[in-house]
A and B are shown apart, each in its own frame.
Chain A
Amino acid sequence: MNWGGEMHSLYADYSKKGQVKIQQMAFVLVAIMIFFGLVSLFYFSIRIANLEQSAVSLKEEDAKELVRKLSSSPEFIFSANDCSNCIDLDKVLILGERRAYENFWKLDYLEIEKVVSKTDKQCNRGNYPDCKFIKVVNETNDYGSVVSAFVSLCYWESNKGGYVKCELGRIHVSGEGIK
């Protein structure tokens, strides 16, 4: 018995039909992957757009609710008299200078404005109360839509022996944006 020997050539007989089938399968596989890729891309683009929209509407809703209740907040309320919608302007002037309240209400913009004023100037200790507005929060220049509400602005007027003066004002609020 002779176990030895020499292999002169290795030859596999692949049929042409088989090769075409493999190519077909490969194409199907690639097509399936592309299809699933496109479907997921389409789904996620719609979902992300919806999520952004939902986040923006929640932000606006939050700002609307906040603007209604902000005048009752301890930092704003004029508590010397029982007045539910009165803002203590003296307190707000000081509040605007305090760093501790940064991000406390999670707002991008918060402004208290006098409706009737002879000037357009921002309030500071030098020109107060003869000024137009106090910016309490101004986090960014791109703060989106602003929600407003009318309030009474009360402060101590030192003329004529001193008395509490209340004027019509507006409060402007914009919720914190998506970061």
Chain B
Amino acid sequence: MINKKGFEFSFAWLFAIIVGAAIIFFAIYATTNLISTERRVGDSESAKQIGILLSPIETSLEDVKTAEITFPTETRLLNDCYEKGNFGRQNIQVSSKLGVGKEFDFPGEPSTFYNKYIFSEEIVQAKRMKVFARPFSFPFKVADLTFIFNADRTICFINPPGEIEEEMTDLNLENIKIVDSLDECDEGRKICFDLVNRNCDAEVSTLSNSVKIDNKIMYYGDDFDNALLYGTIFSTPEIYECQLKRLMKRTSELSLLYLEKTEYLTAKGCSSNLESGLRTLADGSAAINSSFGIRNLETTADELGRRNAQLICRLF
């Protein structure tokens, strides 16, 4: 028997199904790619904007400057440090949280800086980030160090020296708690000063000017107004060591610049007699390969600073 009410699967139907499926597939594929590309463009722009935002935070005559960066959604800031080249380089990338699919996709294009030194964890994930900057002098101003951390995560400074306590209180960073003992800090990152305890995330020894994190020891020296100490606290050992080497490369180039300046001015009656000290500092800082080496250069830098301060025609 023939069913006369049967559905006739005509060419038009076949065509509509195949072409319709192809168009829908293409539309979904294009939209997904477009969203991903647009997000990467947005993240790349954000990385560039962060770099621009960090410029006004740099100091001139001030000791310290603070700021807060608020993102529209939770964002990851990726901090990469490279030590190769004349000055090394600082890369920052941004990856913003997505409402659908993977929470954080590939970050945007990196924003590269040769004159910035950011001390933070490799990935800072937050909606609000605190930023503060301090100048680093060795003995002349070398750079501004920028510290970035999650504004919503508590950091406990346990039993810090008076000057650190005073400075943190003055900065009014609400997520940094100053406490006397480890028991007073329930949550967050624990920075212990002159205290050895397995619950400490970082152990600062003010006697040896060193900080121990994940069984790695970083040296911060004695004469840098705590700038390098904050560097050890707010970054990882890998970032710290890399940024320190970059800072030393810049110190070396600046020493050569001052050396040429003093040689030029000597002929014009403004002699400093700092040539040998500057040469030693330039060579020593260029050759440094870990934070331990900074201790050997401190004496040279101190001596240069002291002798320069006594000059009538000061070099720096």
A21-41: which have CB < 8 Å to B? 21-22, 25, 28-29, 32, 36, 40
A94 and B264 in contact, given A74-B142, A74-B143 (Cβ under 8 angstroms) = yes
A162:B11 contact, CB within 8 angstroms:
no
Residue on B with the closest CB to A18? B11
Interface flags for B49-79 (1: CB within 8 Å of A; 0: not) read 1011001101111000000000000000000
A residues near B49, Cβ cutoff 8 Å: 58
Please tell me if the beta carbons of A69 and B11 are within 8 angstroms of each other in the complex. Answer: no
Interface segment among A1-9, A96-104, A141-149: the answer is A96-104
The listed residue with most B CB atoms (<10 A of its CB), out of A21, A74, A75, A80, is A74
B268 touches A156 (CB 8 A): yes
A90 to B267, CA, bound (A): 13
Nearest to B48 among chain A residues (CB) is A58
A106 beta carbon closer than 8 Å to chain B: yes
Contact of A162 among B112, B113, B260, B313 (CB under 8 A): B313
- Residues of A within 8 Å of B, CB-based: how many? 46
Query: Once the chains bind, are B45 and A72 in contact (CB under 8 Å)?
Result: no
Docked-complex contact A68 and B56, CB < 8 angstroms: yes
Within 8 A of A (CB), among B9-47: 11-12, 15, 19, 23, 26, 30, 41, 45
CA–CA, A90 to B256, complex, Å?
14
The answer to whether residues A91 and B261 also contact, given A21-B12, A61-B52 and a CB cut-off of 8 A, is yes
Interface string of B104-125 (1 = CB under 8 A from A): 0000000011110000000000
**Please, which residues of chain A bring their CB within 8 A of the CB of B12?**
21, 25
Q: For A98, what are the chain B residues with a Cβ–Cβ distance below 8 Å? A: 253, 256-257
A62 within 8 A of B: yes
**CB atoms of B48 and A62 under 8 A apart:** yes
Contact with A90, one of B23, B56, B265 (Cβ below 8 angstroms): B265
- In chain A between 54 and 103, which residues have their CB closer than 8 angstroms to a CB of chain B? 54, 58, 61-62, 65-66, 68-69, 71-75, 77, 79-80, 82, 84-85, 88, 90-91, 93-95, 98, 100-101, 103
The reply to whether B140 and A58 form a contact with Cβ atoms under 8 Å apart is no
Residues of chain A contacted by B254 (CB below 8 angstroms): 74-75
How far does the alpha carbon of A75 sit from the alpha carbon of B260 in the complex, in Å? 13
A39 CB, nearest partner CB in chain B, Å: 10
Residue of A nearest to B15 (CB): A25
B246 to chain A, nearest CB (A): 12
* Residues of the A chain whose Cβ atoms lie less than 8 Å from the Cβ of B59: 72
Q: Given the complex, which residues of A lie within 8 Å of B143, measured CB to CB?
A: 74
B115 shortest CB reach to chain A, Å? 6
A116 contacts chain B at the CB level, 8 A cutoff: no
A72 vs B61: C-alpha distance in the bound complex, in angstroms?
8
Query: How far is the CB of B195 from the nearest CB of chain A, in Å?
Result: 36
Task: Kindly identify which residue among B23, B55, B87, B314 contacts A104, using a CB–CB cutoff of 8 Å.
Answer: B87
Q: Are B45 and A58 in contact (CB under 8 A)?
A: yes
Task: Report the Cα distance A60→B53, complex, angstroms.
Answer: 13
Instruction: A21 to B52: give the CA distance in the assembly, Å.
Output: 61
Residues of B within 8 A of A61 (CB): 52
Inter-subunit contact A22/B11 (CB<8 Å):
yes
CB of A156 within 8 A of CB of B56, answer no
CB-CB nearest 5 A-B residue pairs: A72-B60, A65-B55, A80-B314, A158-B268, A84-B60
Q: Could you name 30 residue pairs across A and B whose Cβ atoms are closer than 8 Å?
A: A18-B11, A25-B11, A25-B12, A58-B45, A58-B48, A58-B52, A61-B52, A62-B48, A68-B56, A69-B55, A72-B60, A79-B316, A80-B316, A84-B60, A84-B61, A88-B261, A90-B265, A91-B258, A94-B264, A100-B253, A101-B253, A104-B86, A104-B87, A104-B115, A105-B114, A106-B112, A156-B270, A156-B313, A158-B268, A162-B269
14 more CB-based (< 8 A) A-B contacts, given A21-B12, A90-B265: A22-B11, A65-B52, A65-B55, A74-B141, A74-B250, A84-B61, A90-B261, A90-B264, A91-B257, A98-B253, A101-B86, A104-B87, A106-B113, A156-B265
